[in-house]
Amino acid sequence: MFKLNLKIALRNLWRNRGITSINVGGLAIALAAFILVVMYFTYETSFDKSNPNYKNIYVVGRIYPDFKTNYTSPPLVKAIKQNFPEVVRAGITKNGTFELALKNEGRTTFIKSFMYSDYEAARILNLNPSTGLQKPKGESEFFFYLNKESMRAIFPNKKDEKPEMVSMGSSTSGHTGMITGSIVNDLHSNINFDALSIASELGKGENYGYNNYNTYIQVKPGTDVANLEQKITDLYRKELLKGETDQKTIEEIKSISTFLDPLSNLHLRPKAGNDAPYKILFALSVLGVLILVIACINFTNLSIAQATKRAKEVGVKKVMGAYRFQLTTQFLTEIFLQCFAATIFALILAELALPYFNNLFQINLSIWTIENNLFWQLPLILCLITLIAGTYPSLVLSGFKPALVLKGNFATSKQSSWLRNGLLVFQFSIAVIFIIGLLIINSQLKYMRTQDLGFTANQVVYIKNITYFNKPENFAPLRDKILKIDGIKAATVATDVPDGAENGSNGYTFEGVQASIDFVDVDFDYFETLDIKLKQGRFFSPSFSTDTVNSAVINESAVAKYGMKNPIGKTIKGCNTDYKIVGVIKDFKAQGFESIVQPTIYSIKNPCGNPKLQIMLKIEENKMASALATLKSQWPRINPKDGEDFRYEFLDELYGKLFKKQEQLQSVFFAAALLTIFIAILGLFAFAKYITNGRIKEIAVRKILGASDIQIFKLINSSFFIMVLVANVISWPVAYILTKKWLETFAYRIDLPVLPFISSALITILLTIITVSIQAKRAVKANPVDALKYE
């Protein structure tokens, strides 16, 4: 019986190879896109799962009234260890602040991300060097590991795991260090580094004011995390309140709390951070599912449309004793064969598209690895789409009444007609949503690229550097040497560059009002180099000796934060310093468009600040190449610690990386819009062919009675035109809500435009008219005699 059903299935598929090709082709394209989405979803949701304690690891963070942060201080981790028995381990890590050059026998590797970890944090995070994780003895001992790639770069012939000596910084600096061994840099982890230093303890002697560490804890399975979170908050407040007598400060401390963020959250949606990756993944997953649903709708629609051709077959089989279950199985077998063929083609298409997909998302996925879970996901997907696409058509086909269909007067029911039309409307509704989404994403990205940032990133070069220039007198000789190079107009150094990274923050008090605001430590010419606009007062100047002691410049947001009136000359207190405000600058979007400009204070001297490492130069555009070449040749003399290791990046390119996630979303929506339109038009083309063929005699009669070609075209197109119009009307509110919510994730955004909604309607209606008219042309141009001669 199975052999007979298989033979009938193959014959039917071959006889209707046009429709079969459309079914298999549309499903294969959609399934290829869905396979890529499933692989990406699996990859993104499995970060750090190789850690055996994955489910019991948490990051400890702090919550202030106006912000959250993952940064904590070393004393907190000690207090947690001592007070909470449900915490199995607790440790801290800290990231390095600069890019370090390591050298050995003429070979150089650059350590771009450096991490310090205490022994307990290394155990929690499952950091296993090739020689095994060992605890350093005493306070002064530490182990220094390079990732496998960096180790191979400077020791290409190394076969053992013995320690090696390397030079650090320039070849003339005289600094050396011992590499203890190598460690695998797990790219599928949030804990990522080029080099790792493990010490027995970090942050000894530092108090609760040194909030530049990450605290990790491992709890016992079954721990009440919410209860532990509250207990850590109580402990933290108690520690901060020790010795505090000022009532206002006490009230402020009581408003501070802590949170525990699972390790599983860190990659996609950290409590203190940007959840753009999660939004991108969610949007991509929904798109993948919808594209597959649209393809399955096509399949269902065309299978129902073909029902009349199989009616007599069903009638004869039922008369011969076939049960409905047997017929349902037969039709499901046919559909399964088509879905199986579509899956094979989908794998081929996915393999061809994978390099472009990997390049877009900067990942390295592969179809032919067991880690991506396709070996069990794909059979499940195949069975699922067979049931989704085939169940209803199989029930319709197997449910025909023999007495009716064998008389030759069978016609599909109104219920089937409504279902076909409804599915077609649904298809086009999804396509319209994708088109509107794409057009609005394009508008927002255009706005972001053309909007005034408040500073000029063009022609600014960021020089990577390892020398501290905390005092202006240390940087002045270097600035003088740099400015002698033809084409360089300005030079400065600061703790941060405006590339989207978060600044440090601290508590500052103005006229009795205390608030936590960002701080950036700068040097002379910082604002001039970045072409930041002055609103009131003045910039820092060597002409004023107090500028290097206690002068400050604040931005407009800081003025608004404190409700300042006439702030110039007034005092703002913080970091044990009474700062005199000498200038107010206009807000500029250092953190991009998703975050509102933070209240910020700029000073030359800041006891709480980070090292000033980031050198920025303003260079004339037509002299950029020659100036950079001169800098490279003279860098060993200008900045001996860096020596021959001259490295730079263009600030506009650094800032442009802030748009990366939205550009990914734009590319995804562009591909999704094309796919959904293509699949919908493919189904519409076949459906229009079926409808036109069913009305061939009606068209012939109308032509004989004098109907013109235009009238017939209008007749055939009218029903499809109405369906597409209905699809637009249905999809507009949905698209409005979705795009409005997406735009609300930006602090600076466009107003929701009307044009994309009108454009989507025009595009879909035009494509529908063209598609249906191409199909109708043959029926319109046919000789009426040929259609009526057998009547």
- Whole-Å CA distances, 230 to 92, 233, 254: 20, 5, 13
- Average pLDDT score, the chain: 85
The total of other beta-carbon atoms located within 10 Å of residue 166's CB is: 21
Is the same domain home to 529 and 562? yes
HEC profile of 622-679: HHHHHHHHHHHHHHHHHCCCCCCCCCEEEHHHHHHHHHHHHHHHHHHHHHHHHHHHHH
pLDDT higher than 70, residue 784: no
Which position has the higher pLDDT, 363 or 9? 363
14 and 61 part of one domain: no
pLDDT tens digits, one per residue of 208-248: 878 889 999 999 999 999 999 999 999 999 998 887 777 87
Once rounded to an integer, what is the mean pLDDT over residues 425-433? 88
Query: Is residue 253 a part of any domain in this protein?
Result: yes
What are the start-end ranges of the H helices in 399-484?
A: 402-405, 414-450, 472-483
Contact 127, 181 (CB under 8 A): no
Closest CA to 36 of 319, 288, 335, 375: 288
> Among the residues of 320-413, which ranges form H helices?
324-361, 374-398, 402-405
Are 104 and 246 within one domain? Answer: yes
Alpha helices (H) in 125-256, listed in sequence order: 148-154, 225-241, 247-254
pLDDT in the model for residue 543: 93
In-domain check, residue 283: yes
CA dist list (Å): 576 to 168, 209, 508, 595, 612: 35, 12, 10, 29, 19
The average pLDDT across 572-579 equals 91
- Which of 623, 657, 691 is the last residue in one of the domains? 657
Hey, is 185 helix, strand or coil? coil
Is 731 part of a structural domain of the chain?
Answer: no
Higher pLDDT, residue 519 or 665 = 519
Which phi-psi region, left, alpha or beta, contains residue 541 (left: φ > 0; alpha: ψ -120 to 50)? Answer: beta
Q: Assess contact for 787 and 697: CB atoms under 8 A.
A: yes
- 603/501 same-domain check: yes
Same domain, 8 and 80: no
Place of tokens 């949701």: 45
Amino acid 9: pLDDT: 64
**Residue 442 near residue 758 (C-beta atoms within 8 A):** no
Min mean pLDDT across 134-138, 152-156, 191-195, 317-321 is at 317-321
Residues 115, 261, single domain; the answer is: yes
For β-strands 195-199 and 114-118, DSSP reports them as parallel
> What is the CA 567 to chain-centroid distance, rounded?
40
Helix (H) or strand (E) holding 164: strand 164-168
What is the distance between the alpha carbons of residues 377 and 43, in angstroms, rounded to a whole number?
14
229 lies in a domain? yes
What span, in angstroms and rounded, lies between the C-alpha atoms of 531 and 524?
13
Last residue of a domain, one of 657, 675, 706: 657
Is 277 exposed, middle or buried, given 0-12, 13-18 or 19+ CB atoms closer than 10 A?
A: middle
Q: At residue 472, does pLDDT exceed 60?
A: yes
Where are the extended beta strands (E) located within 467-597? 488-494, 504-510, 513-521, 534-537, 551-555, 571-574, 577-585
In a domain, 403, yes or no: yes
> Confidence band (pLDDT; 50, 70, 90) for 693?
low
Q: Identify which of 148-162, 210-224, 357-371, 386-400 has the greatest average pLDDT.
A: 210-224
Note the pLDDT tens digit of each residue in 30-84.
899 999 999 999 999 999 998 999 999 999 999 988 778 898 999 999 999 999 9
Q: 426 falls in which pLDDT band (50, 70, 90)?
A: confident
Distance CA 178, CA 149 (A): 17
- Angle, vertex CA 223, rays to CA 221 and CA 229, nearest 5: 135
pTM: 0.81
Local confidence band at 279 (pLDDT 50, 70, 90 cut-offs): confident
Query: Looking at the structure, do residues 91 and 21 belong to the same domain, yes or no?
Result: no
Domain count, the chain: 3
Co-location of 501 and 589 in the same domain: yes
Q: Are residues 223 and 144 in the same domain?
A: yes
Identify the domain containing residue 218 by its residue range.
54-265
Q: Please tell me which of 130-139, 323-332, 417-426 the model is most confident about, judged by mean pLDDT.
A: 130-139
The total number of residues written for the chain in this structure: 791
Residues 511 and 370 in one domain: no
C-alpha closest to that of 427 among 172, 759, 685: 685
C-alpha distances in Å from residue 279, one per residue of 231, 262, 275, 394: 32, 18, 7, 38
Structural contact between residues 357 and 36, judged by C-beta atoms closer than 8 angstroms: yes
Q: Are 204 and 123 in contact (CB under 8 A)?
A: no
Average pLDDT over residues 514-530: 92
Element holding 691 (H helix, E strand): helix 660-694
Together in a domain, 72 and 184: yes
Q: How far apart are CA 358 and CA 503, in angstroms?
A: 31
The answer to the question of residue 185 being in a domain is yes
- Over pLDDT 70: what percentage of the chain? 91
Pick from 41, 541, 7: nearest CA to 277: 41
Condensed to tens digits (0 to 9), the pLDDT of residues 21-32 reads 777 888 898 899
What CA–CA distance (Å, rounded) separates 343 from 363?
Answer: 24
Radius of gyration of the chain (CA): 34
pLDDT at residue 123 tops 90: yes
Do 167 and 125 lie in a common domain? yes
Domain end: 597, 628, 657, which one? 657
Residue 639 domain flag: yes
Q: Is residue 718 part of a domain?
A: no
- Average pLDDT of 127-147? 86
**Between 504 and 727, residue with greater pLDDT:** 727
DSSP-assigned states of every residue in 15-62: HTHHHHHHHHHHHHHHHHHHHHHHHHHHHHTTTTTTSTTGGGEEEEEE
Confidence (pLDDT) at 571: 95
